[in-house]
Structure 1
Amino acid sequence: MKYTSLGRTGLKVSRLCLGTMNFGPTTDEKEAFKIMDAAVDAGVNFFDTANVYGGVEHRGWTEEIIGRWFAQGGGRREKVVLATKVYGAMSGPEGDPNEGGSGLSAYKIRRHLDDSLRRLGTDHIELYQMHHVDRNVTWEELWNAFEVAQNQGKIGYVGASNFAGRDLVKAQYEAKARGALGLVSEQHKYSLLCRLPELEVLPAAEELGIGVIPWSPLDGGILGGNLNPQPGSRTARQGERVEKLRPQLEQFSKLCQELGESEATVALAWTLAHPAVTAPIIGPRTLQQFEESLRVVEVELNEETLKAIDGIFPGPGGEAPKAYAW
């Protein structure tokens, strides 16, 4: 495994991040345990989850599974850089108005952090992330809440997810005014089929020293090379989109065959080639899928290959404003 710093911090994380969203609803606990054991054995020390993972009927399920895995001992907790998130509703709309909807507040951060710690069976979380931006809450309130949690030793660093470039800049401006470190990471949708972040988000993150953690780097499996998926599979449910993209996907498959690599490996390696990217999130449903992902960190795409990929999946044209002006 290869490692890098998380943003501008001294914290070292693996260049692959284990996403756990499937644990519970799709991947049963026994298989999830096998995947996490294999991840640690392979040197993947960066695990990502969220308090809402588990589905509408069992929010928190995924954190509970991870907590039971930690409880087995054997140094499991000590080997993991743990990241979870806050923003989503953790109870139905008929409950507490502060619990029944999505958003952020000092109240919600305190309560949801304590609940996550309880489910995870730990007393601290290395990276606590805002799952989405909430522009109705002041940064004064948010930074105060996170600083309290840091001073209590409950969280190490603060990260974001689904923030626009302007939100990253605003967050860092307000943090700097307080003499605080601010955000160290931004978890963002980024893949060959979603290159808009190259306009603003990735350049802003790189300039501010914020590590980018791409989510859905295979775009729901579409970039995984399976153009004839089994009925009922996640990719099959996007059948109309797959058909629309089929010419590009077939070109991509041909290129990957010439490289001697799988489509998933090349798509993930492409995200790693961007200097702003810390680690893409891999979300395996099975142990086999996880093991197949490990090859990614050994693959380096040369300029000729990157140019060929750009020809198949064009980006927005570069960073703003050059992408649309002069």
Structure 2
Amino acid sequence: MLVDPITSMWSDRLFQATLVVLLIAMIFTSLEYAASRVARAPRRPAAVGAGDSGSDAEISDTPEEQDEADAPASGRTRADRYGRIGISLMILAVVLHAGSIVLRGLATYRWPLGNMYEFTSALCLMAVGAWLVLVHRHPPLRPAGVFVLTPTLLLMFITGTVLYAEAAPVVPALQSYWIIIHVTTITLASGMLLVPGVASLLFLMKRNERPATLAAKLPGAEALDRLAYRVTVLAFPLYTFGIITGAVWAEAAWGRFWGWDPKETVAFVAWVLYAAYLHARATAGWRTSRAAWINSAGFATIVFNLFFINMVVAGLHSYAGV
């Protein structure tokens, strides 16, 4: 099967443009974070009869809200302007990135998730897209965007250099309709799980106030904890479905549902960790720091599976074009 070189070239150029736009977006999100005021802990309203100066007074627990409280009536604050520019650039990056992936599929006449370059590229697209949806629903979380873009940009850079693969047909083992179901689902889930992984790490920073210079301007600890939990609740069923469809595909391709291949094993370990996190989040005494550590461990396991297992350890999944 032939590959369209012109379409492939434009796919690569759109990927490069995405990387540049995301880099500029991170600059503006960094400026927003730097310009945000330091968050202060919320105060409860004063008791009745305590005096007018303290009654009904409450301080926002997010830097965005605190910054807006002091904003001039005539316009937005600097932090807000930087943040809006950053979000606009991220939207542009998502459009360019989606175009790159679509053109990759058109150039190769197949589903564009056949190797590590394509998989990691789609994972980054999903991570940025998930963050944009969350910020649209919860704008006070926006100053934390720099911490989401940093690992995403690192992944994008590695994808475009170390993991880059020329557009080509996939090996026969991947020429199955299951690649559309299994790999797409795992990509969606893994991209979504990047966001709660970062949120849990930020929650631990905020809760422990370390490092103090970074933690001071983060959104409130409770907001970060809720973010991590809600996204994991959505991503975990997708990840579960991805593992199940992978087992079905393995039975069709290799004659067994499960063979303890290294990638299968680490994926199962990550699934256990995320199940443990959701259980801990609903268990008294484990809902805060302990649960966040488990969620962070799950995120680290997915990253380990993505890079070390795919690129170092030999197994049945070692034909991913690395």
Same fold, judged at TM 0.5 (above): no
Name the structure with the higher strand share: 1
Higher helix share: 2
Structure number with larger C-alpha Rg:
2
Q: What's the TM-score, normalizing by structure 2? A: 0.23
Please give the TM-score of this superposition, normalised by the length of structure 1.
0.23
